[in-house]
Amino acid sequence: MASPVYVVKVGGSAGIRDDELLDELAARHANGERFLLVHGGSDETNEVARQLGHPPRFVTSVSGFESRYTDRKTLEIFSMVYCGRRNKSLVEGLQQRGVNAVGLSGADGRIFEGEMKGALKIIEGGKKKVLRGDYSGKITRVHTELLELLLEGGFFPVLTPPAIDRESSCMMNVDGDRAAAELAKAFSARALIILSTVPGLLRDLDGDHSDPTNLISSIDLSSAEDPYSAAEGRMKKKIMGAQEAIDGGVEKVILSTANRPNPIRSALEGAGTTIFRSAVAAEESRI
């Protein structure tokens, strides 16, 4: 039987380091472990967008989540960076470590298929507004066939947004953490590991990041505690992705940092925030 799949998401915010992660992925791949790597690219996208005279615009939805307003030009810049520079730099890094990596967007082989919203309902200056011409949406289906072929052939898939709209076949921006969650669900992944520049979910983002008492080491989604209470900004999407993955049958999601040696082993050994749903409570909730 084929070994289980781990889905790893590596962020793209300022200060993220790839080398230690790529070293560990290459060593584990050589040992026969199977991975699907998903990445972000937000910081470089902002930088390139500014250089091209089309600066990024971030908006807050009526439900309180922050996202990038993606007009057509932004989608093009987004694709340049995500599918181009960032994706190929990870592919190159893996190739240099002897791993036959293949970089694909969610539009290739319709890996990430979904529904475009078209308009965003946002809050700006305390008022509700509708922003039209937005090319972003939600993944509703993952086509696994191409990825299964690649995994069977010993290749190492490196995946990135954008996704593709089911109806129009237009590309659309989707959140990378939630894309990784959909992938983890589709492959019944052993775990989803979301690596960024922070050690996990912190009680106080302004406090000392290296203080272990500042880290929420685990979240049981079946407990009464609100998993979003400490999360602000982009962290909310990670919690949302974690919740979606676990509701979809993934056993655990770990939020941890990429910026240390062996970030995967550390995450699996309990560094970071482990999110799960305890079996007892899950049993009770079915009654």
Query: In this chain, which residue has its C-beta nearest to ligand ADP?
Result: 11
In terms of CB distance, is 60 or 95 closer to ligand ADP? 60
In terms of CB distance, is 143 or 236 closer to ligand ADP? 236
In terms of CB distance, is 147 or 216 closer to ligand ADP? 216
Minimum distance between the CB of residue 73 and ligand ADP, rounded to whole angstroms?
22
In terms of CB distance, is 13 or 95 closer to ligand ADP? 13
Going by their DSSP bridges, the two strands 127-142 and 112-124 should be labelled as antiparallel
Among 16, 42, 27, smallest CA distance to 175 is for 42
Cα-Cα-Cα-Cα torsion 106, 196, 266, 160, nearest 10 degrees, comes to 10
Minimum distance between the CB of residue 66 and ligand ADP, rounded to whole angstroms?
9
| CA atoms of 172 and 155, how far apart (whole Å) | 26
Minimum distance between the CB of residue 2 and ligand ADP, rounded to whole angstroms?
29
In terms of CB distance, is 233 or 249 closer to ligand ADP? 233
Positive or negative CA dihedral for 119, 239, 244, 221?
negative
Minimum distance between the CB of residue 176 and ligand ADP, rounded to whole angstroms?
6
Positive or negative CA dihedral for 91, 181, 74, 49?
negative
Minimum distance between the CB of residue 70 and ligand ADP, rounded to whole angstroms?
16
Minimum distance between the CB of residue 35 and ligand ADP, rounded to whole angstroms?
18
| CA atoms of 138 and 144, how far apart (whole Å) | 17
CB 30 within 8 A of CB 3: no
Minimum distance between the CB of residue 42 and ligand ADP, rounded to whole angstroms?
5
In terms of CB distance, is 150 or 240 closer to ligand ADP? 240
Write out the residues near ligand ADP by the rule CB under 6 A: 11-13, 40, 42, 196-198, 201-202, 205, 230-235
In terms of CB distance, is 192 or 235 closer to ligand ADP? 235
In terms of CB distance, is 12 or 93 closer to ligand ADP? 12
Amino acid occupying residue 5:
V
Minimum distance between the CB of residue 147 and ligand ADP, rounded to whole angstroms?
21
| C-alpha triplet 217, 220, 226: angle, nearest 5° | 95
CB 114 within 8 A of CB 181: no
Q: Which residues are 112's β-sheet partners?
A: 142
